[in-house]
Amino acid sequence: MARKDLLDIASLHREEIEFLLDQSTSFKKLFTHSVKKIPALEGKSVLMLFYEASTRTHSSFEVAAKRLSAEVTNFDVAHSSITKGESVRETIETLQAMRTDYIVVRHSHPGLPGMIARQTTASVINAGDGAHEHPTQALLNAFTIKEKFPDPKGKKVLIIGDILHSRVARSTSTLLQKLGVEVAYLGPGSLVPKYIPESIRRFTDYEAAMAWAPDVVYLLRVQMERQDVQYFPSVREYHRVYGITTARLAEIRQRGLYIMHPGPVNRGVELADAVMDYERSLITNQVENGISIRMAVLDWLTPGGEFPRQESYAARQRAGSALLTP
């Protein structure tokens, strides 16, 4: 069941997703221990290759790898030979020569993590590639939802915002549907792709979307950096029509809905400040769950080529080790 790489959600089987979510539960139990580190990846190396900015994904992968006892190297793109014109291919050949076990990569080009995966024996994890996929974000979203709804089948998640540019929306809706969750999109006509799967409901009106009775409202970040043209009249107008305003929060609270956002939040755009203190906001839970999910992914993948096959740490645990028990 182990794989060499995690590049997307589309190719993951439901059993693999459920396995990773279960593993994340086990790893999360470690967070309450006084010693949070386990030797699952002792002697292994993880290279962080981030061509785009990141706070949550980068830091949680680093924490996850260190909690599994892996050695972590941060590839400094700004001070690398990439600034002298070195191609990604040459960079990968150089990195392959270093025989790292895992490469965690974020890049603006869709498909680049897959290209790297084909050229290296290292396990490659897609930490976000353009508007394509962000598989670990989708997994942590599903894990966070499952903590509130242990059987999420039939639950409804409304994803609001810039669907067009969002790898989070793509990966998350694919994953949630594999778990039997109903998904709907709400956004300006200019930011919801013309063609979306028939299984996903499309709304352009907030009130109509709320009448669909979602259990979770998932706000997407408006990606100013990917908007080469203007997709809505103004930020103020966007907040009024598609944002969770203070007035809308009152209704959401009354209905007991959960609110999620992948971060970073554009305050006053997707969410009013007051939403950050809402008791059913799961935004902080998402950040915390990013660590256990990424531990589960690192532990599950199997670096290939001439590297020895690595057995899942959790499998060894089931076989008799007591390291995961409190």
By the rule CB under 6 A, 284 interacts with ligand CP: no
- Classify residue 320 as exposed, middle or buried by CB count within 10 Å of its CB (0-12, 13-18, 19+): exposed
Tell whether residue 248 is a contact of ligand CP (CB under 6 A): no
Nearest approach, Cβ of residue 243 and ligand CP (Å): 18
Give the shortest CB-89-to-ligand CP separation in angstroms: 25
Which listed residue (2, 3, 18, 54) binds ligand CP by CB under 6 A? 54
> Tokens at residue 143, please?
């894990």
Question: Does residue 263 touch ligand CP according to CB under 6 A?
Answer: yes
CB 295 within 8 A of CB 317: no
Helices and strands counted in the chain (H then E): 11, 9
Among 137, 171, 174, 289, binds ligand CP (CB under 6 A): 137
Check binding of 57 to ligand CP (CB under 6 A): yes
Phi, psi (rounded to 5 degrees) for 33: -75, 155
Q: How far is the CB of 106 from ligand CP (least distance, A)?
A: 8
313 neighbors 70 (Cβ within 8 angstroms)? no
| Residue 152: CB minimum distance to ligand CP, A | 20
State how far the Cα of 267 lies from the Cα of 259, in Å rounded to an integer.
Answer: 14
By the rule CB under 6 A, 171 interacts with ligand CP: no
Q: Is 262 a residue that touches ligand CP (CB under 6 A)?
A: yes
Query: How many residues sit close enough to ligand CP to count as binding (CB under 6 A)?
Result: 10
Distance in Å, CB of 277 to ligand CP, minimum? 20
Structure token pair of residue 235? 């930020």
108 binds ligand CP (CB under 6 A): no
Q: Which stretch binds ligand CP (CB under 6 A): 4-12, 51-59, 65-73, 300-308?
A: 51-59
The one-letter amino acid code at 60 reads: S
- Dist CA 251 CA 63 (whole Å): 37
Cβ pair 136, 293 in contact under 8 A: yes
Q: Which is nearer to ligand CP, 156 or 294 (CB)?
A: 294
Using CA atoms, how far apart are residues 279 and 308, in angstroms rounded to an integer?
47
Q: Which residues pair with 87 in a beta bridge?
A: none
Q: Which residues bind ligand CP (CB under 6 A)?
A: 54-58, 128, 137, 262-264
